[in-house]
Amino acid sequence: MLKPILDTQAVSLKTLNTQHIMLWVLAALLPGVFVYAWFISPLVFFNIALAAVLAVVFEALALYWRGQAIHGGVQDGSIVVAAVLLALAVPPLLPFWQLAVGVFIMVMLGKQVYGGLGNNPFNPAMVGYAALLVSFPQTMTLWSAPDLLNQLTLGHLLNAKLSLDLLNPNLLIDWDGITRATPLEHLRTLKMQGLSVDQNLAQQQFISSGWVWTNLAFLLGGLLLLYRRIIQWHIPASVILSFALCSLLFSAQNVPWYLSVFSGALMLGAFFIATDPVTAASSNRGRLVFGAGIGALCFIIREFGGYPEGFAFAVLLMNLCVPLIDHIDMHWGTSA
Amino acid sequence: MTLPALVGLVVLLAALVFIGAALARLSRPINTEGHSGDEQLIEKVNNLLPQTQCAQCGHPGCRPYAYAIIKQREPINRCPPGGDRTIADLAELLGTTALPLDSSCGEQKPIQVAIIDESVCIGCTLCIHACPVDAIVGAGKLMHTVISDQCTGCELCLPPCPVDCIDLVSPATSTSDWQWPRPA
Amino acid sequence: MRVRNAWRKQFSAEKPRAPFSFHGGLKLDTSKRALTRFNSTGIKELPLPAKLVVPLIDYHKNNIEPLVNIQQTVSRGQIIAPGIISPAYGTVSVIEPCEFIHPGGLSVNSVVIDTHANNSENPPVSIPSAKAAQAMINSFAEQPIETLEQAALVGLGGAGFPTLHKIKSANNGIHTLIINAAECEPEIACDEALMLAEPEAIALGIETLVQLTQCQQCIIAIEDSKPLAQQQLSEAINTFDVNAAIMTIPTRYPTGAETTLIEVVTGKRLAYRNANSPTTKSQTTPSEHGIVCINIGTAHALWQMVERNQALDSRVVSLGGSNMRNPCNVRVRFGTPVNFVLSATDNTPDNAHTRIRAGGPLSGFDLHSLNAPITANTNCILAEAAFIETPAQPCIRCGQCADVCPVKLLPQQLHWYAQSEDHDKCAQLNLAACIECGCCDLVCPASIKLTETFRYAKSTARFLSEQNQKADEAEQRFKNREERLKQREADRKAAIEKRKQAVKSQDKKTNTDRIKAALERARTKQKSSKD
């Protein structure tokens, strides 16, 4: 009987296993989560907890159905990371059952149908997000106004959130009074109406909305991941650079590029979503192309598309290109 | 019926016929009778066959079977020594689906070589004539022996032997052809 | 250890650093248990066991035929099979398959020698004066290079390639001779111990090699983690005025492997996946580039040949590992069974869970039997605790394996293709260039057994290509036979035809002849009756 050949125990080398990697990613998300909760809405904690618990339950269920080892499949923590990313991406006031639908789609159609961790071609969190965005466009673009939100009691908010009746037009009118678009959405509305944006006003709005701070906090977490060598610099750098370059050269809006880089979900996406190794290109050269594609697509969707934020679709579209990128990269320079 | 509806129907029917014909054409192996590439294709098929020359497929050797696959539409699953690997390779080459091995031809066995019990052999030369790959040496009234390196394990020497002195054995694992086990 | 750190500051700055680097690799904690006791014990000389087992196998793992018979007395250094010498004076007791150091625990035909009691001890290597040494080397180098055959020199780095063959295969001359003094794997310390114990013999062996190979430059590559050994060797080189330069190379696994060492020293990539065309194999042997890489242990053995005409019949073996009670470096005669080595150093494993391994922690494997004999390839014997296997998780495509691969392969893709038995794709991605260093296994967050899979795929691909070749030969013989049978059939038909023709023509002839004869007879009868 042949015994194991390679004895890693005889060599002391600190290597991270998948579980450690996921724990580090969760830890790196913390600053961003707290700043988000402070400036945008504390309801994000509720969303994160709900999404994480549901994701684990759905994942266990799917593994059970597939006849896989439940414990081994859940404990790597990858689904918790995906759930947290989804919870951070959706508006905090999203009714809980819609979030549950999103988590279900994320686990089942985003991950498990392909055979679980490592086999999914699309970023599961972004699959869930995109499904929610096309299914519930009204609530998925309903962002609360931070200042007004703080005046309401948490109980009031939870009550509204737990209501299954949020799509009730009466309720929506009520909410209109206390909700306000995100800066990106505001820009989009103005542009649709053919109005020009005053640069100073836009800048003020960007900064006062807290999105800039949230983005900075995610950037901090991303740098931690880079420092710990959990992720490589290629994807975040190329996402941010290509987005910045596009907005510098082609943006028709009066928002300086350094502000649009810190708006929306760009930092979260560049450091935490696009860097998902399973769905990204596998070589460094390929990662640069992959990231640049995401940055450019994200800009195009924001600038010309029908949605205020295009990161999810940019990621999904580039996920689609990954096999091609990998193939070309592997056979680079060959005639065949 | 109005004219546009008729046109639509005709176009639809034409498209159906075209697609059906195309699918029917594509489902066949890529070969055409009398095509100049046939010889090359036979050669390619022959290269994929294990060259055991065992005739279990019903053809007197590997090349005749290759010829039959291309020229007579013989199924590709009639080669027990090649087994599933050969069937898969053939299916890929010919653009057809891999079928399970036709059990009427025989079962896939591990690699074996013939060995002659030299104390029993009467030197009748029948096995020498039966061997398709000239792997048995000997002469009349003299003991025969199998060159085990050249034996393909086709078993064709077994039936002619009048004294049943030929056995098939698994070759001993030597250090030069030892393989690392497949990791679990 | 403190002493060594002091040396490091003082000396590593003097020697030129390696001008090149290699891709990937890992900085490992290279604790060498066998070396920590070196100061008190030196290299221990192991007594000669009563029985030596010499496997009859060459570098290519082919069996070779013995040149001796049972009950024959053999002297130390006598050739007992092509390329194999007897390690001691004794009698051949039996020639039979015996276990040897092999990952599959196979047996191979071996010569078993009962050693005689009055075997000569190994005298310590004597070091002559610089002038005398130079003269000895000169006279040795004047002899034809085939003299080396008697020395049975093989590489002592772990692969055991015949040194003479290595030198001779450099048809266009040897440009660079690299002396490999790098031991990048943890636990293996035999080369470092030898450099600390007998630097002069190594220096003289290197000078002999320089003269033998007529190389343009000779570089001794030592890692920066061995400042003391470097200092000792440097002094010896100065004393004997050896034409070689010491180069300090970074301590990064696997610098000691031939491919990576050559890249670090010369910048030449020999076994890489060609970045421009991965479908063509770019693997070439160092000799084709005029580079020869020789282990310092081999240089030491060469000096023994020069000095006292002693063939290579022993080597230094490191005994290490977490469960080795007395880690040390010992000089072991080839053919000594592993259990003798362990018992003679008071290292017999005391519980059944201890695994005894041959080779380093990364490149080695568990032994199936402790009766297996030490050979030139055995640089290290490890005793390790029982292995706790971590089950493999799914690949998350993180790409760390490709980042650390010292030969720039794509382990992730290779693993995928190797598992699905797609040997053509594996060949396209140049799996053959894999040096099985195990770096990818160490960094894989999903604990996937990459190296094991590659070893499997490599041996299977080799097996399949052999099968293919055999099939081609069988086909050729089948064709020849068909041709022959056809010819024979044609000959037979022709012969029948010929005979028919002959019979026909003969028949005609004879009929007329008979008639003529009958007429003749009738006439003569008539004549005689008339008369």
Domain spanning C49-118: CATH 2.40.50 = yes
Between CA C363 and CA C406 the distance in angstroms is 14
Q: Are strands C328-333 and C291-295 parallel, antiparallel or unpaired?
A: unpaired
Per-residue pLDDT of chain A (336 residues; tens, 9 = 90+): 334 444 444 455 556 788 889 999 999 999 999 998 888 878 889 899 999 999 999 999 999 988 888 887 788 889 999 999 999 999 887 888 889 999 999 999 999 999 888 889 999 999 999 999 989 887 787 765 544 455 555 555 666 666 555 444 344 434 444 444 566 766 666 666 666 656 666 666 666 677 888 899 999 999 999 998 888 899 999 999 999 999 888 877 667 777 788 887 889 999 999 999 999 998 888 999 999 999 999 999 888 877 777 889 999 999 999 999 988 887 774 433
Whether residue B9 lies inside any domain: the answer is: no
CA distance C14 to chain B (A): 46
Quote the distance between the C-alpha of residue A229 and its chain's center. Answer: 20
The values of phi and psi at residue B178, to 5°, are -70, 140
End-to-end CA distance of chain B, in Å? Answer: 67
Give pLDDT tens digits for C377-436: 899 998 888 777 778 888 888 888 888 999 888 899 899 999 988 888 888 888 888 888
Instruction: Output the pLDDT for position A188.
Output: 66
Residues B82 and B130 placed together within one structural domain of the fold: no
Ranges of CATH 2.40.50 domains, chain C? 49-118
Instruction: Output the pLDDT for position C128.
Output: 80
Report the domain count for chain B: 2
Reference A231, options A22, A4, A58, A33; nearest CA is: A22
For C83: left if phi > 0, alpha if psi spans -120 to 50, otherwise beta; the answer is: left
The values of phi and psi at residue A221, to 5°, are -60, -40
Give pLDDT tens digits for C20-60: 888 888 888 766 777 766 666 778 888 889 999 999 988 88
Whichever domain contains B167, its CATH number is 3.30.70.20
3-state secondary structure of A54: helix
C202-213 average pLDDT score: 90
Instruction: Output the pLDDT for position A9.
Output: 47
Whether residue B42 lies inside any domain: the answer is: yes
Give pLDDT tens digits for A280-298: 998 888 999 999 999 999 9
Among A6, A21, A336, the residue with its CB nearest the CB of C452 is A6
C496-525 average pLDDT score: 82
Q: Please calculate the CA angle C138-C142-C143 and round it to the nearest 5 degrees.
A: 125
Residue C338 or residue C143, greater confidence: C338
Residue of A nearest to C447 (CA): A17
Q: Do B175 and C449 touch (CB under 8 A)?
A: no
CB atoms within 10 A of CB C386: 12
Residues B80 and B127 placed together within one structural domain of the fold: no
Instruction: Output the pLDDT for position A108.
Output: 94
Between CA C445 and CA A15 the distance in angstroms is 7
Whether residue B12 lies inside any domain: the answer is: no
3-state secondary structure of A136: coil
Which two structure tokens, joined as six digits, stand for A23? 């724990």
Considering only A38-52, A125-139, C117-131, C478-492, which range has the smallest mean pLDDT? C117-131
Mutation target for C interface from A1, A6, A284: give the one with most C CBs within 10 A: A6
Which two structure tokens, joined as six digits, stand for C168? 């001779």
Residues B84 and B137 placed together within one structural domain of the fold: no
Cβ contacts of C64 on chain B, cutoff 8 Å: none
Whichever domain contains B88, its CATH number is 1.10.15.40
Reference A247, options A201, A296, A183; nearest CA is: A296
Cβ contacts of A15 on chain C, cutoff 8 Å: 442-445
Enter the ipTM.
0.80
Residue of C nearest to A120 (CA): C396
3-state secondary structure of B57: coil
Between CA C378 and CA C380 the distance in angstroms is 6
Between CA C452 and CA B183 the distance in angstroms is 6
Whether residue B99 lies inside any domain: the answer is: no
End-to-end CA distance of chain C, in Å? Answer: 140
Looking at the complex, does the CB of residue C24 fall below 8 Å from at least one CB of chain A? Answer: no
Q: What average pLDDT values come out for chain B (184 residues) when binned by 10 residues?
A: 84 94 74 63 86 86 88 86 86 83 84 85 86 85 83 86 86 77 80
Mutation target for B interface from C478, C479, C480, C486: give the one with most B CBs within 10 A: C478
Reference A82, options A106, A59, A60; nearest CA is: A106
Give chain C's contact residues with B (Cβ, < 8 Å): 57, 60-63, 102-104, 106, 108, 449, 452-453, 455-456, 458-460, 463, 466-467, 470-475, 477-478, 480-482
Residue span of the structural domain in which B162 resides: 110-172
